[in-house]
Amino acid sequence: MLTLRSIEPQSIPKISEVDLLVIGGGTAGAIAGIAGGREGLNTLVVEQLGFLGGTQTGALVTPMMPNQIDREPLNGGIDMEINRRLNAIHESGVWKDGNQGWFNPETLKHTLEQMVLESGAKLLYYTMFEDAVIEDGAVAGAVVLNKAGRGFISAKRTIDASGDGDVASRAGVMVERGDPETGRNQPFSVRFHLGNVDLKRFAEYLRSLGKHDVMDTAEGSDVMLIHTAMVWGKGWTLEPVFRKAVSDGVLQEHDGDYFQVFTMAGRPGELAFNCPRIRENVDGTNPDHLTLAQIRGREIIQRYVAFCRRYLPGCEQAYLVMSAPMVGVRESRRIQGEYYLTTDEVLGGAKFTDAILRNCYPLDVHRDPQDKRNGVIKLPPGEYHEVPYRCLVPVGVEGLLVAGRCFSASFEAQSSVRIQSNCRAMGEAAAVASAMSLRSGISLRRVDGVELRAELKRRGARL
């Protein structure tokens, strides 16, 4: 019998019937769509916006955070294929530490879309997930909502790539939220781009301050690589400039809690800002909080633009190119999965026979400035940990996998694994596992993780 948590299924028209339904076309979901199509599955990716990429493209999260040892990336597969495609056309570059992803978000939108369609998968934009459809204890599809009304999509397997565990939560899967000590989520970011910047003058200014992170060009790009930041009390050379701006009334004190700026491959004359950071009302599943973040973010961005024009050489004639149309959410729900990855396992370099990815990115919790636990905790040099397939398998429901930042882990462990290359690897693993499940006629829970690991290695994963 088909049941919904809140809607009578008989009143909703079936609009599609697929092998694999991917809810969310973001960092994990776009790659799940590509992998599902390549596996020969009738695959549909449902996305609420009009483009793919999620936080990478909608929240303007560039560049990718590093996940490599001795310049060798820990993830391969589709993740590496995307980076190489962008590098080949100079729309991404390679950082000095070997980070492959330093990309133009507009080009990534198009590249992901091309790869999904080339795989044979289908896209449905401007469509919201509304509810999970349950049949005999298994997710059998979803009810979605768009301009045409409500519709039921029947699916043999479903991947929750919503980022917030929306499908899993609606299907009754137990979830955790936030820091167990404080109950608070990590801050939001509302990022933006500044255009008409004289990058050469800006780089010379940073060099004149002494401490800088400037390369004439990034490998594979013709754009100068610039990175700088400012956090009160951390020794950044821009701190006196920020203090002057606060004294002059251009900035407010909290505007200096977190400031970070990068250049981007493929976008000469632009700077990308990883700020402002929003610390209050940061539940990514609360639409009121998301609304307030967009409003406050745009207000703070106006102050940052004025600051750059007045105090940073090379930015005198700069203008606001865009503010992110999507709030950057670092974490919200985390599902209860068949395996729960712990903080000790991340820092201890735990390995698993059913591993689907490798990671060496540090614990990175953006806590309040006064929190004594604030800061980045790195793994030992040359060490990495793995994430098992079981972290994607929710307890209590069949027919469903999760992929992305809502996987099963502790609050701090999630802060290490949530970066883009790992979310991409989860999306690929979830789609390949779905194909194995359908070909063998077994549940997703019974997919042999050791065999899945071997399949992923045959597809280029570094495991």
CA atoms within 13 A on the CB side of 382: 0
The pLDDT tens digits of the residues spanning 291-332 come to 999 999 999 999 999 999 999 999 999 999 999 999 999 999
pLDDT at residue 129 greater than cutoff 80? yes
Q: 389 phi and psi, to 5 degrees?
A: -55, -35
Q: Are strands 68-69 and 72-73 parallel, antiparallel or unpaired?
A: antiparallel
The CA distance from 208 to 406, in Å, is 43
Q: What's the average model confidence in pLDDT over 122-129?
A: 98
Residue-wise pLDDT for 412-443, tens only, equals 999 999 999 999 999 999 999 999 999 999 99
User: Could you report the per-residue pLDDT of 35-44, keeping only the tens digit for each?
Assistant: 999 999 999 9
The H or E element spanning position 425 is helix 420-440
Arithmetic mean of pLDDT, 67-89: 94
Answer whether residue 237 shows pLDDT above 80: yes
Select from 128, 229, 203 the least CA-distant residue to 170. Answer: 128
8 Å CB contact between 58 and 189: no
- pLDDT per residue over 96-111, tens digit each? 666 777 899 999 999 9
Map tokens 């000790």 to a residue.
344
* pLDDT tens profile 170-180: 999 999 999 99
Longest dimension (CA), the chain: 70
CA distance 130 to 284: 16
Report in angstroms the alpha-carbon separations of 391 from 401, 408, 449. Answer: 9, 5, 11
Q: How far is CA 110 from the centre of its chain?
A: 17
pLDDT at 6: 44
Q: Please state whether 451 falls in left (phi above 0), alpha (psi between -120 and 50) or beta.
A: alpha
User: 159, 168 in Cβ contact below 8 A?
Assistant: no
Tokens of 119: 């795989």
> What are the residues whose beta carbons fall under 8 Å from the beta carbon of 123, sequence distance 6 or more?
25, 33, 44, 45, 47, 52, 113, 116, 117
For position 220, what pLDDT does the model report?
Answer: 59
Per DSSP, the three-state class of 307 is helix
- Which domains are assigned to the chain? 2-180+331-458 (3.50.50.60), 188-329 (no CATH)
pLDDT at 3: 54
- Mean of the per-residue pLDDT values for the chain? 94
Q: Please, which pLDDT band fits residue 63 given cuts at 50, 70 and 90?
A: confident
- CA atoms of 305 and 310, how far apart (whole Å): 9
Residue 304, H or E segment:
helix 287-311
The model's pTM is 0.95
